Amino acid sequence: MDLPFQITEILERLELTGFSAFVVGGCVRDFLMGLSPHDFDITTSATPAETKRVFADCRVVETGIKHGTVTVLYKGISTEITTFRVDGGYSDGRHPDSVVFSRDITDDLSRRDFTMNGIAYSPKRGFIDPFGGENDIKRGVIRAIGDADKRFSEDALRVLRAVRFSSVLSFEIEEQTARAIRAHEGDLRKVSVERILAELKRLLCGRDVKRVLLEYSSLFAKIIPPLGEEIGFEQGSKYHDRTLYEHTAAAVENSPPTEEMRFAMLFHDLGKVKCKTTDENGECHYYGHAEISAELCDEIMRGLKCDNSLRERVVRIVRYHDIPVDTERKYIRRQLAKHGAEEFEDIMNAHIADDSAKADFCRERIPKIQEVIKIAREIAAEQPCLSARALAITGEDLKPYVPPSPLMGEILSQLLSEVVDEKIPNEKAALLERARGILEERIQK
């Protein structure tokens, strides 16, 4: 395994002073999967005090001293070094009551969650893999270390980690482990919303998110109850060939893997449950559902303590996920003026994700949506005037004709709307002339 030189030196230093030391966890898993690790965690037989002594010449921060973790700043990189440990009981289903340091790497590996995360490696000692993690990685299997039921009752976050890994890595969850997940999904209420949100973000961006949403639907209903109401909900419409929840899961996976798009698609149709109507032909309609979905989405994301910026972006995509699709230049310019280029493209991508999760014939509209995106990009590249700030005149220029008043604001916004519609060019002389024209029209009225 290729390690950054600093990591190799840290391991060597610990070994030279009489301790054993390994890289462990995600980085070993990533390496065995052929991916490049994003960070390297080190585990060692040295106690935190011993580690501090070994790195007395470096900056050492006691980041998690209770759990045996210190962070060492070594030749420009900072690395967490954690003492081998076994965890005591977990009476709250979240945190070990006590941790006991150990001198044995196998002890440390056995407290870890899944076999794929329970492998250690050092250049001196090679791979230490007591639970068959490498084999499970080869076969694409997530398996709890030890008794799955016990491991999930110790720490309910593992339930969500398993499902997140399954989505991101496209790994299947082994049967006993899957059964234990289902048995412990209710324990997720013990997990803080911050951690649930963090896992959910990564899970939703995974490439196997649809399978995971469908296989563990009741788990998602526990975390987000309104989503549970979509399960088994028949849409009663010729546009739909599956239940609302199945449609939602497919729409999530069909959208670009960004947090805002994935959350938006997860929540885009929540409002349907609340506004179903049936016409005389037995066809169901959901008038106004986008707005209700947006309100529910806002509430859920506040509950998950999502940051305002992401929440607001998601809510707007949900609110507008259903606007008309039109290739007319004037329409697109108006939408760009309202949403900005980025949000408008997100909204159009939501349309594509939505249509591709409906009955087959609905896909016929997708080329048209793609055409709208193309035109919108061309328009945006021209850097058009689509906001009051970009107008070639300001209130200052109008002062000789109109005193500062609400009327001035009205004139400016009418000028902007005519520029957006390309009725007049965004040029000072033309704008002033038109402003005088508008004034005259007003006076005549």
Residue 26 engages Mg ion in binding (rule: CB under 5 A):
yes
Residue 147 three-state SS: coil
Q: Please, which of residues 128-147 interact with ligand ATP by CB under 6 A?
A: none
Of the candidate residues 23, 25, 79, 313, the single one contacting ligand ATP (CB under 6 A): 25
What does 256 bind: ligand ATP, Mg ion, none (CB cut-off 5 to 8 Å by kind)?
Answer: none
Looking at the Cβ atoms of 99 and 435, the one nearer to ligand ATP is: 99
CB of 120 to Mg ion, least distance (A): 14
Cβ burial of 415 (10 Å; 0-12, 13-18, 19+) is buried
**Within 34-53, which residues bind ligand ATP (CB under 6 A)?**
41
Q: Which is nearer to ligand ATP, 32 or 318 (CB)?
A: 32
**Range in contact with Mg ion (rule: CB under 5 A) among 19-27, 65-73, 313-321, 368-376:** 19-27
Distance CA 355, CA 254 (A): 9
- For ligand ATP, which is the closer residue by CB, 37 or 271? 37
Q: CB-wise, 171 or 233, nearer to Mg ion?
A: 171
- Coarse DSSP helix, strand, coil percentages of the chain, rounded to the nearest 5 percent: 55, 10, 35
The answer to the question of residue 64 lying near Mg ion (CB under 5 A) is no
Tell whether residue 26 is a contact of ligand ATP (CB under 6 A): yes
> What residues contact residue 153 under an 8 Å CB cut-off, 6+ apart?
90, 93, 184, 187
Give dist(CA 115, CA 136) in Å, integer: 7
Q: In 226-263, which positions are buried (b, 16+ CB within 10 angstroms) versus exposed (e)?
A: bbbebbebebebeebeeebbbbbbbbbbbbeeebbbbb
Minimum distance, C-beta of residue 7 to ligand ATP, in the bound complex (Å): 14
Strand partners, 80: 71
The two tokens of residue 214 are 């469908």
Residue 340 binds which one of ligand ATP, Mg ion, none, with CB within 5 to 8 A depending on kind? none
Which of 43, 69, 117, 217 is close enough to bind ligand ATP by CB under 6 A?
117
Instruction: Tell which one of 42, 60, 79, 112 touches ligand ATP (CB under 6 A).
Output: 112
Residue nearest to ligand ATP (CB): 26
Alpha helical stretches, state H, 356-427: 366-381, 395-398, 406-420
DSSP secondary structure letter of residue 125:
T
Q: Give least dist CB 117 to ligand ATP, A.
A: 3
Partner interacting with residue 155 (select from Mg ion, ligand ATP, none; CB below 5-8 Å by kind): ligand ATP
The span of 20-28, 112-120, 167-175, 346-354 binding Mg ion (CB under 5 A) equals 20-28
332, 223 Cβ separation under 8 angstroms: no
Torsion (CA) 349, 351, 353, 357 in degrees, nearest 10:
-170
- CA 81, chain centre distance (Å): 29
Stretch of 25-33, 205-213, 296-304, 397-405 lying at the interface with Mg ion (CB under 5 A):
25-33
Name which of ligand ATP, Mg ion, none residue 85 binds, using a CB cut-off of 5 to 8 Å depending on partner kind. Answer: none
> Which of residues 136, 155, 185, 230 is near ligand ATP by CB under 6 A?
155
Tokens 């759990």 sit on residue: 67
Among the residue ranges 134-142, 153-161, 292-300, 431-439, the one whose residues contact ligand ATP (CB under 6 A): 153-161
What are 378's two structure tokens? Answer: 């061309």
Q: Report the candidate in 200, 116, 127 with the shortest Cα–Cα distance to residue 157.
A: 200
How far is it, in rounded angstroms, from Cα 243 to Cα 233?
5
| E strand or H helix at 285 | strand 284-285
Closest to ligand ATP by CB, 26 or 228: 26
Query: How far is it, in rounded angstroms, from Cα 42 to Cα 53?
Result: 16
Closer to ligand ATP by Cβ: residue 67 or 240:
67
Residue closer to ligand ATP (CB basis): 109 or 415: 109
Interacting residue ranges for Mg ion, rule: CB under 5 A: 26
Q: Interface residues with ligand ATP (CB under 6 A)? A: 25-26, 41, 112-113, 117, 155, 157-158
